[in-house]
């Protein structure tokens, strides 16, 4: 079984892919429970239902590629190989956390595995990713940068400016739009009359693909194609992955602005269930469900263990408030 702290390889064992998706699911459900108990505070934006995009995309990248994510970043971090213990410790504000307890859910960072940063500003990470791609082009090296962003970011000025520059300078970047149909509480149609965010890519001459975001294999294939094209000097690529968040915008949001029928439609397309079905059809899972049961149990065990370890770790000291403001 692949270590959760490893990046998934493009040729990763299908069970490893499934295990990673389960790790994320178990992690998100756990932190949801911790939040409900007041152990995690602040704002928590979960990626339950969107694991296909995170894992599909990450598994198409190389370990050295750089990922920039949004406020809803746990799945992407874990998919890229971030240590669940350190991630959980960060969410409960411990000094052993990824950011010494100073960043919290929306600002996680793990540069050592290529997960550069999340951000609390919608669209704020896209220029950052463009910059990393620029550095790769200028050096040059063979890294690709990848920016995850939502459908809401497609209306920001930074999105436009970034696509323009990426195309002008033929930067090695993959832009992945996770279109879950909602920007906070508002459906996409109330934000813009452009139905597919990928439409904007063609304005700047950027090749784009729209895929079923809940099909982890389709996402991996699309991002894989895009990454190789970008890496080979073909310039930026755009992948729009259609998906849905099964929870509210943040924990505590009852999401009454959504129809229950819509929610249950998408539940039936749960990326974990679909991938499991596919592996079963491929004969990789036994019909009795022991393997899948084991994978799920292992994920939950790892998350429980991470939780215990995180909660045992020390809280920051008063002095920590003014540490890390400057370099020295």
Partner 1 sequence: MAIPRLPSHRLMAQLRTLLRIRRFEEALIELARTHDVGHFHVYVGQEVTGVAALDLLEDGDVGYTTHRNHGHLIARGVDPAAMLAEILGRATGTNRGKGGTLHLASAEHGFPTTSSSVGGPIPIAVGSAFAFRELGNRRVSVALFGDGALEEGAWHESVNIAALRQLPVIFLVENNSLEALGQKANEYPSSTLASARLADLARPFGLPVAVVDGTDSRAVHIAMRRAVRRARALEGPSFIEAQTVRWPGSRPLWPQLLTGPTDLAMAWDAGRIGDEYRAWHERQDGVLRFARELLAAGATTREQILSIDEAAKEEMRSAVRFALESPYPEPREALEHVFA
Partner 2 sequence: MADIRYVDAIRAALEDELAADEAVCLLGEDITLGGPFGATKGLVDRFGEWRIRNTPISEATVVGLAVGAALAGARPVVEVMFIDFITLAMDQLVNHAAKLRYMSGGALSVPLTIRAQFGATGGFGAHHSQSLEAWFAHVPGLRVLAPSTPADAYAALRAAIRADDPVLYLEHRGLYWQRGEQADPAAVDPWRVRVRRPGRDVTILAWSRMVPLSLEAADRLAEDGIEAEVVDLRALSPLDLEGIVASARRTRRVAVVHEAVTTGGLGAEIAAAITEAAFGDLAAPVLRIGAPFAPPPAGPELEALFVPSVDRVVEATRALVRGPAAASVGVSPAPA
Among residues 2, 32, 164, 291, the one that binds partner 1 under rule CB under 8 A: 164
Least distance in angstroms from the C-beta of 74 to partner 1: 28
Least gap, CB of 121 to partner 2 (angstroms): 6
Please tell me whether residue 204 binds partner 1 under the rule CB under 8 A: yes
Considering only 2, 95, 192, 291, the residue that binds partner 1 (CB under 8 A) is 192
Residue of 161, 128, 176, 146 lying closest to 67 (CA atoms): 146
Phi then psi for residue 307, to 5 deg, are: -65, -45
**Cα-based torsion angle of the residue sequence 269, 271, 273, 276 in order, rounded to the nearest 10 degrees:** 140
- Could you say which of partner 2, partner 1, none residue 192 binds, taking C-beta under 5 to 8 angstroms by partner kind? partner 1
Neighbours of 141 (CB within 10 A): 12
CA–CA dist 325, 320 (Å, integer): 10
The CA distance from 96 to 80, in Å, is 19
Using CB under 8 A, pick the residue from 134, 244, 250, 275 that binds partner 2: 134
Query: What is the chain's Cα-based Rg?
Result: 19
Going by their DSSP bridges, the two strands 207-212 and 173-179 should be labelled as: unpaired
Q: DSSP letter for 201, please.
A: H
Give the residue, chosen from 10, 107, 120, 161, that forms a contact with partner 1 under the rule CB under 8 A: 161
Number of alpha carbons in the 13 Å side-chain half-sphere of residue 279: 23
Query: Any contact of residue 138 with partner 2 (CB under 8 A)?
Result: yes
34: exposed, middle or buried (Cβ count in 10 Å: 0-12, 13-18, 19+): buried
Please identify which residue in 131, 191, 199, 274 interacts with partner 2, judged by CB under 8 A. Answer: 131
74 vs 220, beta carbon nearer partner 2: 74
Site string for partner 2, 110-129 (x = CB under 8 A): xx----xx-xxx--x-xxxx
- Of the chain, the end-to-end C-alpha distance in Å amounts to 41
Q: Is residue 180 close enough to count as binding partner 1 by CB under 8 A?
A: no
Q: Does 66 bind partner 2 (CB under 8 A)?
A: yes
Q: Which residues bind partner 1 (CB under 8 A)?
A: 155-161, 163-165, 167-168, 190-194, 199-200, 202-205
Q: Which residues bind partner 2 (CB under 8 A)?
A: 66, 68, 97-104, 107, 109-111, 116-117, 119-121, 124, 126-139, 143, 145, 157-158, 161-162, 164-165, 168-169, 323-328
């Amino acid at each position: 079984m692949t270590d959760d702290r490893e990046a998934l390889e493009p040729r990763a064992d299908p069970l490893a892919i499934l295990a990673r998706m389960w790790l994320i699911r178990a992690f998100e459900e756990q932190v949801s429970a911790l939040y409900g108990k007041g152990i995690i505070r602040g704002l928590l934006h979960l990626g339950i239902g969107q694991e296909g995009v995170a894992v599909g995309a990450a598994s198409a990248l190389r370990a050295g590629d750089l990922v920039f994510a949004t406020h809803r970043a746990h799945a992407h971090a874990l998919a890229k190989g971030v240590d669940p213990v350190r991630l959980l410790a960060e969410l409960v504000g411990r000094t052993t956390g990824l950011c010494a307890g100073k960043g919290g859910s929306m600002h996680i960072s793990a540069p050592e595995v290529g997960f550069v940063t999340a951000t609390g500003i919608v669209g704020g990470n896209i220029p950052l990713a463009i910059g990393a791609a620029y550095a790769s082009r200028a050096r040059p090296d063979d890294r690709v940068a990848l920016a995850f962003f939502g459908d809401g970011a497609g209306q920001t000025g930074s999105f436009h400016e970034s696509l323009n520059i990426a195309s002008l300078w033929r930067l090695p970047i993959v832009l992945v739009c996770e279109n879950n149909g909602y920007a906070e509480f508002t459906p996409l149609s109330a934000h813009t009359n452009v139905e597919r965010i990928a439409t904007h890519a063609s304005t700047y001459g950027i090749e784009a693909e729209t895929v079923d975001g809940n099909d982890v294999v389709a996402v991996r294939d699309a991002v894989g194609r895009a990454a190789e094209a970008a890496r080979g000097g073909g310039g930026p690529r755009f992948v729009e992955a259609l998906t849905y968040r099964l929870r509210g915008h943040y924990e505590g949001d009852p999401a009454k602005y959504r129809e229950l029928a819509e929610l249950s439609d998408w539940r039936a397309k749960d990326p974990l269930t679909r991938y499991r079905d596919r592996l079963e059809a491929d004969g990789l899972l036994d019909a009795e469900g022991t393997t899948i049961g084991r994978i799920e149990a292992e994920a939950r065990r790892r998350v429980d263990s991470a939780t215990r370890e995180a909660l045992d770790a020390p809280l920051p000291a008063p002095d920590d408030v003014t540490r890390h403001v400057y370099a020295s």
